[in-house]
Amino acid sequence: MIYSSELIKGTLKTIILKLLRDNPRMYGYEMTQRVKELTGDKIQLTEGALYPTLHAMEAEGILQTESEYIGKRVRKYYSLTPKGKTKGEEKISELADFLETMKFLIGAQTSIS
């Protein structure tokens, strides 16, 4: 089962922050592949959502970039800024908490029905 893009959209920022907390620097394609691997293809980050979010996070000062030439093309590596590290911790624990609540909510509703 592949999760719907609506579900992923709300957690995309947190996914990126988690990836970059575990890896010092990553580029866009690498992120999509890593998420695929980690989730057994259940979550596929769409490029159309990933890059706008990466740009916005860079503009917010959460991410920083360094560019490297790969032959004729340029690859942009993303890493966390100090502000991004703090934000990452916050977002990850917020999502974990949210998932616990959701589990309770869905579980509670299932038991009622």
Partner 1 sequence: MYSLTDQQIDWILDDLRRRGIETEDLQLNLLDHICCIVEGELEENGDFGQFYSTIITRFYKRELMEVEEETQSLLLFKNYYTMKKIMMTSGTISAALTALGILFKFMHFPGAAFLLLLGIVSFSLVFLPLLLTLRIRERKEIKERIIVVTGVIAGSMLSLAVLFKIQHWPFANIMGFSAVLMFALLFLPLYFFTGIRNPMNKENVIVNSLIIIMGCGLFLTLVRTNQNQQRIQADRTRDYLQQEQLLAHERMLTSIDSAKVLAEEAKSINQLCDDIKKKLIKFDTGLEINPATAYDDKIILTESIANDYFSRETEMSNKIDQLRTSLSNYNQKLSPGMAPLP
Residue 63 parent element (H or E): strand 63-70
Of the ranges 15-23, 34-42, 48-56, 92-100, which one interacts with partner 1 (CB under 8 A)?
48-56
What is the number of alpha carbons within 13 Å of residue 59 lying toward its C-beta? Answer: 6
Of the ranges 16-24, 25-33, 90-98, 104-112, which one interacts with partner 1 (CB under 8 A)?
25-33
Q: Residue 110 Cβ, how far from partner 1 at the closest point, in Å?
A: 33
Of the ranges 14-22, 49-57, 91-99, 103-111, which one interacts with partner 1 (CB under 8 A)?
49-57
Residue 4 makes contact with partner 1 by CB under 8 A: no
- Phi and psi at residue 81, in whole multiples of 5°? -85, 170
**Distance of alpha carbon 1 from alpha carbon 55, whole angstroms:** 29
The encoded tokens of residue 103 equal: 């589990």
Out of 7, 48, 110, 112, point to the residue binding partner 1 (CB under 8 A). 48
- Phi and psi at residue 70, in whole multiples of 5°? -115, 95
Strands (E), the chain: 63-70, 73-80
- Residue numbers 67-86 binding partner 1 by CB under 8 A: 67, 70-76
Residue 101 makes contact with partner 1 by CB under 8 A: no
Length of the chain in terms of residues written: 113
Residues that bind partner 1 (CB under 8 A): 27-29, 32, 46-49, 51-56, 59-60, 67, 70-76
